[in-house]
Structure 1
Amino acid sequence: MSFNLAAMLTESRASSPDKPLCHFGDQAFGYAQVDEISGRVAASLRGLGLVRGDKVAVHLPNLPQFLFTYFAILKAGLVMVPLNPLLRAAEIVYHLEDSDSKVLVTFESFAAEATTAASEVDGVTTFVVTVGGSDRRPEGTRHYDELYAAENTGDVEPTNADDTAVLLYTSGTTGRPKGAELTHFQLYMNCTVSGELFGFRDDDIGVAVLPLFHVFGLSSVLNVCVRFGGTVVLVPRFDAGAVLDAIEHYRCTIFSGVPTMYFALAHQDLTGRDVSSLRVGTSGGAAIPGETMRLFEEKFTGVVILEGYGLSETASTTTFNISAEQRKVLSIGKPIWGVQVRVVDEHDNPLPPGPGHVGEIVIRGHNVMKGYYKRPGETAKAFRGGWFHTGDLAYADEDGYYYVVDRKKDLIIRGGYNVYPREIEEVLYTHPAIGEAAVIGRPDEKLGEEVVAVVSPAPGAEVDCAAVVDYCRERLASYKYPREVRVVAELPKGPTGKILKKELR
């Protein structure tokens, strides 16, 4: 079946060509304008010799150029590989090589790391977005404005519904990022069903402060907005004051965020502010504390927070609380339309409801990825028995609501960002003073979890904790490196020699 996700943009343009699709500062871009610009960029990408299925890495914060590039990639029949702008050069090299990306689009603030990475990968052309008329680009890169120059043919490359549209990197127990292949149809279905669940209207205005390189921001914010012909206000990074300014100025009606954002907003002074336009909040990325939900809804009168659950591998939403009347606080809700969820034991047998029957969440439905790019073995393992195994532990109640209680994997979620301990441990093990290392998360009221490294010294060495933090900061993205290092004589181990992180916690 032929289908291209860019139909969301072209159909909404046909309905409301002059309506703003996005606001960014004092700039506004209408549906017709975004459609035209993305068409030009699509033609330029094809003009580089890219063909259907080629990968384009997008290393941008929440800027209008993210939208232009995203829809251009879809229109050209290419595959977008979204990258966190905070990644360091070595991390970018890995993503470029693993994804087989042929083009990298980055922003001037992050261009040094990106260009260093691209120079180490054969055949990657780098374009740099600049602002304010500047041209501060590293040598050997091209200006993003070149991509506007092509004639807009208006053609959208025919793609199949099950063609990969986005290659979104996640990680597993190995700590090595894996590319989840999300198709045109999966992303379309997920944003359609999600938008209908909380009653998204074409006059809604959402705050896009969640990073668009993340599945939550891409699928549940941007795609939902464009699918239903709404408007988004782009906020490049979370700042509670900036979010409140956006809500006031643009009369935003929907806010989507992670619990730490709701925590920060709930503790803001709203004296003299008018945030009465806000009607609904959606939360994901981590379990939102009941107290945070209560404080927020008490301060933002009339707003209801609806919590959901999903993964990169499920194109965002899998379960959702659909209304204030039907939600259960601390629950991740019920499966969305067309998606099945089970809790199973270690032998993949379904478990009965009740908090005494905790098992792994497994999923099947239209939202589940095609598989991990170039990893047939790991794909087969994740899909054993025909169900996608999440690694998250939960139970269901008698009414079909699900409750996540722990993570089978040692994933740490810090401020809504996924932090994978193994990746940090690999860096720690390269430090000459460290003999053994384990990374765990400890509860943090503001961030949800904080990253803690527990290390033992190498023979004859002494560990300088502050120096270890600096060592990691230089080699890892800012949200990953441990803020705390604890030194012990020996790490606790089980009978096989495996470090027992449970005891460390």
Structure 2
Amino acid sequence: MEKIWLKHYPEEIPHEIAYKEQAVHEYLTDAAKLYGEKVAVHFLGKDITFIELYEASLKFANYLKDELGIKKGDRVAIMLPNTPQSMIGYYGTLYAGGIVVQTNPLYMERELQYQMKDSGAKVILTLDILYPRVSKVLNETDLENVIVTEIKEYLPFPKNLVYPYIQKKQYGIKVKVSHSGNTHLLPTILKEASATPIETPLDFENDLALLQYTGGTTGFPKGVMLTHKNLIVNTSMSDKWLYKCKKGEESILGILPFFHVFGMTSVLILSVMAGYKIILMPKFDAGDTLKTIQKQKPTLFPGAPTIYIGLLNHPDINKYDLSSIHACISGSAPLPVEVQENFEKVTGGKMVEGYGLTETSPVTHANFVWDRPYVKGSIGVPWPDTESAILSFETGEPLPPGEIGEIAIKGPQVMKGYWNRPEDTASTFRDGWLLTGDLGYMNEDGYFFIVDRKKDMIIAGGFNIYPREIEEILYEHPAVQEAVCAGIPDPYRGETVKAYVVLKDGKQLTEKELDTHCRKFLAAYKVPRIYEFRDELPKTAVGKILRRALVDEEKQKQSSEEIS
């Protein structure tokens, strides 16, 4: 195929990249040598240098190998928000030859149990307040050891003394864990373990660095197998795309969670690769974020639309100086044009939309940050070394510009496959193309546009939510006869989850009761925000519930309300 988009590339962006054939963690080794005493991480007032991050990661790695028996290829789960400990666990696992399993700290027992069983993880690194949740699934999984850490361990004085009281007030619990048996404390590990460098043989092309869980058309989470090569090439592409950034001088606002692959490559790996400082934030709060930007002056701000919308809607945004921000790449969900334009006005920097999938490590397309006009409504053009096409549903052949089909991808960032799911892997590829499940078209200039999503996946606040998972929980309630979930338009979250429910004859159920039921089994972001009880649901002749009809009905209703 002719890559017609290449004619738009600024001369600074190469069409092809010569990649370093090395492990992901070797970037930290290099950074410790090049930028040793430079600040790698700023976390709520405390600075950590590259050499400190490197040595802590080696200690974690040696403890995994020597004390916990982790061998090359073993899976180690990390269930943490964005903290220095999550970085230590990530790079430490890779140094030990392990495969990282990123786990959302919002997961409830049911979700956690499924992921641990499927991945076969032997060790999990988690927070003290999450320890009770993890303990409940130990006997149902292959987990042999739990490593526990606390937020306060990397807070400066006196925050480290005050935080436990704040935590107890916020979460209502205080967990005490001792370093004994199959439970291990991270401070003890970092105090006692060796920082001796580790040599682990690596197959750059085939050895896995990460199992990143996502959902599919079935709604059941699947482990996406990403190799060291996948992650290195996608981060290198990002580095080349941001060609005006200076090695060792930029700082990145680290709000995107590392358990999301976009946050992992655009913040966690890129910062180490290029010697940037991460201004790390464990959660998003608009007020705290504005204060942090003004004080710490990040130059790069990758994020999701809901983050930018939250900042723009803060009543005091004009009181803060956000002019340090030079570039923002937005991902995880469609970026509204008005959000892009307004955020550029308040920062003076550039904001562009990118596109990708967990299966592509994740980025495949983006608009140009500099030196080219922004194409509104477009996800941009394919990145270096990346091919993209619009394939016909009937023939599977590439379609000409302007025609709608399924977006397909080829490139070195494309996953190795799904963990222990050869049939799902095979069905996701066609003649070497990764099928994205998204409907779109390419214009005459090689810019790509998304029209709709083939999958039923809901994207709310940047999180991927799979209706079937929620529906199964709804069906478990004894009063529910039928249930279906759909993503309906939401001005802040992009989409929000709405559940349509038909009750069994003679049964009664309130929204509050159903909401309580869902919250027992689902992370908060998956729980429906709206419940609607109906006498019946729209169906096909063979009885399949028409989810799309409900979505269209909701859009018409919102449109009518806007007109009136």
Provide the residue aligned with 2:400 in structure 1. Answer: 352
C-alpha separation in 2, matches of 1:462 and 1:493: 23
C-alpha separation in 2, matches of 1:123 and 1:236: 25
Could you tell which deviates more after superposition, 133-142 or 83-92?
133-142
Give the direction of change, closer, same or farther, for the CA distance of 1:314–1:150 in structure 2 (3 Å limit).
Answer: same
Q: Which runs of 4+ in 1 moved over 4 A?
A: none
Q: Does 1:142 align with 2:162?
A: no
Q: 2:51 aligns with which of 27, 32, 35?
A: 32
Provide the residue aligned with 2:76 in structure 1. Answer: 56
Q: 2:60 aligns with which of 36, 41, 52?
A: 41
Deviation at 1:393, TM superposition (A): 1.0
Q: 1:128 aligns with which of 131, 148, 167?
A: 148
Deviation at 1:147, TM superposition (A): 2.6
Provide the residue aligned with 1:446 in structure 2. Answer: 492
Deviation at 1:138, TM superposition (A): 5.2
Aligned residues of 1:4 and 1:158 also touching (Cα < 8 A): no
Aligned length: 502
Aligned residues of 2:129 and 2:175 also touching (Cα < 8 A): no
Deviation digits for residues 108-127 of structure 1 (CA, Å, limit 9, x no counterpart): 22222122122432442111
C-alpha separation in 1, matches of 2:375 and 2:345: 17
Provide the residue aligned with 1:159 in structure 2. Answer: 202
C-alpha separation in 2, matches of 1:271 and 1:408: 40
Q: 1:94 aligns with which of 114, 127, 138?
A: 114
The one-letter amino acid paired with 2:341 is R
Deviation digits for residues 86-116 of structure 1 (CA, Å, limit 9, x no counterpart): 0001111111110010001111222221221
C-alpha separation in 1, matches of 2:144 and 2:355: 35
Structure 2 SS opposite 1:246: helix
Provide the residue aligned with 1:459 in structure 2. Answer: 505
Name whichever structure is richer in helix by fraction.
Answer: 2
Deviation digits for residues 49-77 of structure 1 (CA, Å, limit 9, x no counterpart): 11100000000000000111111111111
TM-score for the superposition, normalised by structure 1: 0.97
Structure 1 SS opposite 2:137: helix
Deviation at 1:491, TM superposition (A): 0.9
Q: Does 1:201 align with 2:246?
A: yes
Provide the residue aligned with 1:474 in structure 2. Answer: 520
C-alpha separation in 1, matches of 2:362 and 2:58: 27
Map 1:63-462 to 2 at 5 A. 63-132=83-152, 136-137=175-176, 141-148=183-190, 149-161=192-204, 162-199=206-243, 200-202=245-247, 203-268=249-314, 269-300=316-347, 302-324=348-370, 325-346=372-393, 347-354=395-402, 357-462=403-508
The one-letter amino acid paired with 2:195 is N
Q: Does 1:498 align with 2:544?
A: yes
Give the direction of change, closer, same or farther, for the CA distance of 1:69–1:376 in structure 2 (3 Å limit).
Answer: same
C-alpha separation in 1, matches of 2:282 and 2:294: 17
Could you tell which deviates more after superposition, 222-231 or 130-139?
130-139
% identity of equivalent residues? 39
Segments of structure 2 that go 5 or more residues without pairing to the other structure are: 1-19, 154-163, 165-173, 552-564
C-alpha separation in 2, matches of 1:137 and 1:101: 24
C-alpha separation in 2, matches of 1:272 and 1:386: 52
Aligned residues of 1:207 and 1:234 also touching (Cα < 8 A): yes
Aligned residues of 2:60 and 2:88 also touching (Cα < 8 A): yes
Aligned residues of 1:258 and 1:283 also touching (Cα < 8 A): yes
C-alpha separation in 1, matches of 2:543 and 2:148: 48
The one-letter amino acid paired with 1:61 is P
C-alpha separation in 2, matches of 1:320 and 1:131: 35
Could you tell which deviates more after superposition, 14-23 or 155-164?
155-164
Could you tell which deviates more after superposition, 122-131 or 75-84?
122-131
Structure 2 SS opposite 1:254: coil
Provide the residue aligned with 1:488 in structure 2. Answer: 534
The one-letter amino acid paired with 1:265 is L
Give the direction of change, closer, same or farther, for the CA distance of 1:422–1:348 in structure 2 (3 Å limit).
Answer: same
Deviation digits for residues 274-319 of structure 1 (CA, Å, limit 9, x no counterpart): 222111111001111111112211222x211011001111001100
Deviation at 1:2, TM superposition (A): 6.7
Structure 2 SS opposite 1:423: helix
C-alpha separation in 2, matches of 1:490 and 1:255: 46
Deviation at 1:131, TM superposition (A): 3.8
Aligned residues of 2:481 and 2:502 also touching (Cα < 8 A): yes
C-alpha separation in 2, matches of 1:109 and 1:318: 37
Segments of structure 1 that go 5 or more residues without pairing to the other structure are: none
Deviation at 1:460, TM superposition (A): 2.2
Aligned residues of 1:165 and 1:183 also touching (Cα < 8 A): yes
The one-letter amino acid paired with 2:185 is H
Deviation at 1:248, TM superposition (A): 1.6
C-alpha separation in 1, matches of 2:499 and 2:199: 49
Structure 2 SS opposite 1:255: coil
Deviation at 1:137, TM superposition (A): 3.8
Deviation at 1:143, TM superposition (A): 1.4
Give me the CA root mean square deviation. 1.5
Structure 2 SS opposite 1:104: strand
C-alpha separation in 1, matches of 2:286 and 2:392: 42
TM-score for the superposition, normalised by structure 2: 0.87
Deviation at 1:249, TM superposition (A): 1.6
